[in-house]
Amino acid sequence: MHPKTLLTVAASGLAVLCLAAPAGQALAQGKIGVVQIERIVRDSPPALRAQKKLEAEFGKREAELAKAADQLKRQQDELEKDSVTMPEAQRRNKERDFNDLNREFQRKQREYREDVNQRRNEELGQVIEQANRIIRQIAESEKYDIIFQEAAYANPRIDITDKVIKALDAKPPAAQNDMPGPFTLAQIVSRFGGRIAGDPDVLIQQVGSLERAGRGQIAFFSNSRYRDRLAGTGASALILAADAEAASALPRIVCDDPYSYFARVSQLFNPRVLQAAGVHASASVAPTARLGARVSIGEDSCLYPGVVVYPGCRIGARAILHAGAVIGADGFGIADDAGQWVKIPQTGGVAIGDDVEIGANTTIDRGTLEDTVIGDGVKLDNQIQIGHNCRIGAHTAMAGCAGIAGSTEIGRHCRIGGGAIVLGHLTVCDNVTISAATVISRSIRTPGTYTGMFPADEHASWTRNTAVVRQLAELLERVRALEKRIEGKEKSDG
């Protein structure tokens, strides 16, 4: 019988696991262990690496605060020394200046502490998550009935902390998936070239998109129609071309081709993930089945034979995935670098809501940076392609062989006919119906039905009509020329 999982809270304030025996089982006859969580978050190799990472990330701000504190101390000493002999008006001005500087220092110090605490909790949370997995594995493999954390006293015979710490640093070569870095802009440029405008010591931890990137992330800008997103980005740095250098005051890498440069940087932070082989002992799967890591499937969901769910994908409750559906394959992300295609790592996932049905052989690509999102109640027919970074609104339905190109957003309660195509980077508003075989090449802002088909005909007739269509532009120019000649003749006759 597998242990029951209980959630407790460590002294650090982070959630940790304590494994307990099922109710009614005599603990006195069972196997008991103790884990000192405080040691794990202080002494384990992942915790020490996290501490070094935080020191590198916040070292510059800490030094700036220390310098500001020294400056305030000097001003305070000078003010106290000279206040007796100083004219009243001058003293009040100096006191006001000092108080303004002190308030600004206190604000920066408070923000620094909040940021440090948040990042420390994020980093140590990952350490605790790894430790929890290892504790579960030890408990199951070595038949522990209960594992306590933070005991007042523990006999070394039952203390498994050293075992957990050792396991935290003992990853098999095939599972080395840790993200490298962080890197400064100067270090990135030393690898890939380009020119830095702004602070070269800005620390970058990951890539991000213009609209969703946060502190520690670098985004790229290469299309003028996204200039509004550039103004509001939360990224710490940008990759852009020389003709766009003045578009932002953020630290930036200036290069010839921002898109291919971004592909290289993304590869730097997201090396190819090598999954560890095997199936966990607690899993109930067919002997021939193969499961990737970090797969999450909601309650009452049904995956038929042949469904493939890649790592990092989430499937909500009551979902139905028919045979051959592929969730989370890489999107078609490549950049042209001097005639060679450079793969852009697809680091997002796929997030599928509740009550979604996905037809046979339908494919939903993982996002490049953020998740591809399928809203609640979406119904997808067979052999549909959903490109990377798409967002499909709740209760939208698509018929077979429809294709939605990457980075397109489809609204709620839309109906898309069979064989319809929506080109990339477009927006379709709520309550839109797209007729079968229609190609949508522009964003749709108004609800309604949209149709664009060339009707079938007897072949010879269709060929003649198609030839006329090809000449429409030329015929239009000729008609316009005739209209001008007629208008000129009428004026001269008048």
Q: Which residues are catalytic?
A: 388
**Which amino acid appears at position 188 of this protein?**
I
Q: What share of the chain is helix, strand, coil (3-state, %, to 5)?
A: 35, 20, 45
| Count of CB atoms situated within 10 Å of the CB of 85 | 7
Which positions ≥6 away from 289 have C-beta within 8 Å?
A: 279
* Residues pairing with 364 in the sheet: 327, 386
Residue 348 host element (H or E): none
Q: How does strand 448-450 pair with strand 432-434? A: parallel
Task: In whole angstroms, give the CA distance from residue 95 to residue 165.
Answer: 54
Tally of residues, the chain: 494
409: Cα separation from own chain's centroid: 17
Structure tokens at 354: 């509740």
- Residue 447: asked if its preceding bond is cis (omega within 30°), the reply is no
Question: What is the gyration radius of the CA atoms in the chain, in angstroms?
Answer: 31
| Count of CB atoms situated within 10 Å of the CB of 92 | 11
Task: In whole angstroms, give the CA distance from residue 146 to residue 438.
Answer: 62
Task: In whole angstroms, give the CA distance from residue 369 to residue 310.
Answer: 16
Yes or no: say if 410 and 395 are a contact pair by the CB < 8 Å rule.
no
**What three-state secondary structure class fits 204?**
strand
Closest to 425 in 3D by CA, of 450, 410, 406? 406
Yes or no: say if 219 and 233 are a contact pair by the CB < 8 Å rule.
yes
Torsions phi, psi of 275, nearest 5? -80, 140
Largest interatomic CA distance in the chain = 116
Closest to 270 in 3D by CA, of 129, 369, 407? 369
Q: Can you say whether the dihedral through the CA atoms of 124, 129, 135, 138 is positive or negative?
A: negative
Query: Which residue in the block uniquely carries the two structure tokens 């989430």?
Result: 314
Q: How does strand 203-204 pair with strand 183-184? A: antiparallel
Residue 346 host element (H or E): none
